[in-house]
Structure formats: C-alpha cells, structure tokens
Amino acid sequence: MINITLLGATGSIGQSTLSVVDLHPDTFNIFALSAHTNWQSMLQLCQTYQPTFAVMSDADAAEALSNKIQGDTVVLSGAKALDEIAAHQQTDYVMAAIVGAAGMASSLAAAQAGKRIMLANKESLVLAGDIFMQAVKDNQAELIPVDSEHSAIFQCLQGGSSGLSKIQLTASGGPFLHTPLAALESMTPEQACAHPNWSMGRKISVDSATMMNKGLEVIEAHYLFGLPSHCIDVVVHPQSIVHSSVYFEDGSTLSQLGNPDMRTVISYAMSYPDRIISGVPALDLTQNSPLEFYTPDFAKFSCLRLAFEALEQGGSAMGTINAANEIAVSSFLGGQIKFVDIASVIEKTLEQAQHTQPETLNAVISNDQNARAIATEVVKAYA
C-alpha cells in the first residue's frame, strides 16, 4: 500500500487526485490531508478517507475541525505541520497542490526527505528552483510534474533527450483569446474566471486569462528539463488536446494528446513508470473540432512576455513577478484594479525591486515579502 500525503486536498487537483485513489483502493492510502480554511469539506474528506493526519493552515479552521471530527485522525495546524506531514517517515508520495508561494516550503520539505513529489505547485520552482532541484538531487527524491504541459513533455522524453532542440508548451489562450485588446479594459473577475476548457480555482483561472500561468510554466520547464529560455516555446492551442510537444534536431516532433482532464496526468504521476486507469475516457479525434494553433500575442498577453524576461534576468526576478502577480490578481478579484492593470503592477514591481541572487530559503522568502510590499504600494496607484 502506497501512503499519499495530499497537500491542498479541497482544491481541484486534490479532488481529482482523490478520484483516482477511489479507483485503486488496494494500491493507494490517504495518509494525510491538508487544506487552508475549508474545514467543512475537510471534515467530509476525513470521514471518507480516515487519514492519520489532517492539517489546516489556518488555526481557527483547525480548531473548528478538531471540535467536529470523529475517529482517530489527528488535527494539526500551521506551516510547520505541513512540512512535517510532507516529510513524515510513513509518507511515500506527496501531491503538492497548494496554490501559490504558500506551497513552496512543504514541497521543499518533501524533496529534502527524499519523497516522490507529484508537483502541481509550480511556485516551488519559480521562487526557489535552484534550491529545490538541488534538494531533489541531494536526497534522491523523485520529481514528477503534474501540470498537463510538463507531464506531456516528461512523457515525450521517456525515450531519451538525445538530439532535443526545443520544447513547446501549449496554452489554451483562456477566455480572452479572441477578445480585442481594447475590450480587456472592462473585463470582470467573473469573465476572467470563465475558462473554456478547465475547471480551476479563481486565482489560477485569472492567471490563465492573463497567460501568466503559462509564463510561470515556462520558468518551471526551465528547471524541470534544464533548458534555457530560447529552447522553450509557447503556442496557443484553444482545444487543449495537444498538451505539449518536443522537437528534435532530425526534424521529428513528439506530442502528447488527451482529453483536458487532470486525472490523466495525476494517475501517471501516481503510477510512473507504469500506467493505471484514471477514469478519463479515451480521446476520439473524429469527435473533436479541428485543432488550431496560434502564435501568442505578447502585446495582448504581456504577462507572458514578463515571465520570459524574468527568466532571462534570472535570480530573484522570477520570485518577484510571482509575488507581484499574486498581489495583482488578488487586487483584481477584490475589485481594486482593472484586468489590464495586472501586467502593469507586475512590470512596475519588477522595475522597483532590488535584483539579488538568493541562495537560501530565507533569502527567497525575504525577496517574496519585499516584492509583495512593493506590489501593494503599486496597486494603490491604480485603485
């Protein structure tokens, strides 16, 4: 029996992971679950899966859960508890699905403990890629990407990377792919969160609408596959059927295709190097609309441009844009700034932040905090 610690259990990745676990009850056991504040959903999950530990990052939510829970599940709270369950001796696999910078420390704890990390938290690499990858290497951890694009590349490279010339991430283009640039001024949070293909949380849905999500994935790909920015390409593919491609020097291109359902890549991360039933139906190309591909518009989706620029700048720049983006998206969802202001807040924060080469986790956290403070001040100019 494989013990899984699921960080971010009440989110969309968490729910999809549990759906796969349900199909294989004799193979996988839920050892620990975590959530932020949604103790009501966590209570239901604890009743169903009877984990050894349940961690709420919010102390009040942990207390509420503790007062209601029955059975032997131990309720813990706080960031330290997340690190402990990720590195626990009885944990085999860690699904790292906490959204944003909040998920970085626990993902790193899993790496330092030599676990199989099923990485859905791209910020772990965006903020601390060098530190994270070194921890994976030093502790013989397994790092399996769970983003559909990175999983696709990972799968395409199973035959080897000899002659590899570039990788190409696909992007759906989000809800505003065909929306004129001038019309983006009036877009609402509800419109930005209405993704045409994927069911996701509000923050990542906005990131998809700005294409910052793809920009962060470019940075993630740099660390996962050890490639410079000029060997990483992005193509807009609205149907989300081709998940990514790899290009070789002999003119060959390998792509991974499938229905847009995260259970496919989650099940692959859980079963690698084998494959198991995921619950996702097989792709039937005869029943799909024609597949389209477009070059991304960097003027319209300037967040993607900023991500490439931050990667080329290196050092703290990548953490800076991530922090600024989290502040900007939160401000947009809260009605403080317009949709088109998100990129402007990120760009101005990057201009004002001091550029460093963080070599420790504390330095990464310090840069993150400083960038958030700068972005918060920048937001006030637009509010």
Model confidence over 300-334: pLDDT tens digits?
999 999 999 999 999 999 999 999 999 999 999 99
Are residues 103 and 170 located together in one domain of the fold?
Answer: no
| Residue 220 is labelled as binding a ligand | no
9 falls within a domain: yes
Pairing of strands 53-56, 74-77: parallel
Interval 254-268 mean pLDDT: 97
Our count of domains for the chain comes to: 3
pLDDT digits (tens, 9 = 90+) for 104-117: 999 999 999 999 99
Looking at the fold, whether 109 and 83 belong to one and the same domain comes out as yes
- 266, part of any domain: no
pLDDT tens, residue by residue, 16-40: 999 999 999 999 999 999 999 999 9
Q: How far apart are CA 151 and CA 163, in angstroms?
A: 20
Q: Residue 131 falls within a domain, yes or no?
A: yes
pTM of the prediction?
A: 0.93
39-52 pLDDT per residue, tens: 999 999 999 999 99
> Are 198 and 165 in a shared domain?
yes
252 is in an annotated binding site: no
Residue 60 in marked binding region: no
- Does 213 show up as a binding residue in the annotation? yes
The residues that bridge with 158 in the sheet, in sequence order, are none
259 annotated to bind ligand: no
Q: Residue 126: what pLDDT?
A: 94
Task: Tell me if 249 is assigned to a ligand binding site.
Answer: no
Strand 242-248 with 164-171, pairing: antiparallel
Q: Dihedral angle at the C-alpha atoms of 101, 102, 104, 109, nearest 10 degrees?
A: 170
Residue 208, annotated ligand binder? yes
| CATH number of residue 37's parent domain | 3.40.50.720
Q: Which of 302, 383, 289, 282 is nearest to 350 (CA)?
A: 302
Which of 87, 114, 145 finishes a domain?
A: 145
Domain endpoint, select from 105, 126, 145: 145
Q: How far apart are CA 359 and CA 51, in angstroms?
A: 36
The Cα 310–Cα 233 span in angstroms is: 15
C-alpha span between 178 and 334 (Å, rounded) = 25
Q: How confident is the model at residue 153 (pLDDT cuts 50, 70, 90)?
A: very high
Q: pLDDT value at position 198?
A: 67
Please tell me whether 274 is known to bind a ligand.
no
Q: Is residue 268 situated within a structural domain?
A: no
**Distance between CA atoms of 183 and 176, rounded to whole angstroms?**
9
142 belongs to an annotated ligand binding site: no
Q: Which percentage of the chain shows pLDDT scores above 70?
A: 99
Inform me whether the pLDDT recorded for 296 exceeds 90.
Answer: yes
Q: How confident is residue 199, by pLDDT bands cut at 50, 70 and 90?
A: low
pLDDT of residue 38: 96
CB atoms within 10 A of CB 114: 15
Whether 149 has a binding-site annotation, put simply, is yes
13 is in an annotated binding site: yes
Flag whether 12 is marked binding: yes
Residue pointed to by tokens 């290009």: 247
pLDDT for residue 144: 98
Quote the mean pLDDT of the chain.
95
| Same-domain check for residues 112 and 154 | no
Would the annotation count 147 as a binding residue?
yes
169 in the same domain as 45:
no
In which band, very low, low, confident or very high, does the pLDDT at 200 lie, cut at 50, 70 and 90? confident
Q: Is 148 annotated as a binding residue?
A: yes
Q: What is the DSSP letter of 238?
A: T
List the structure tokens of 348: 């101005």
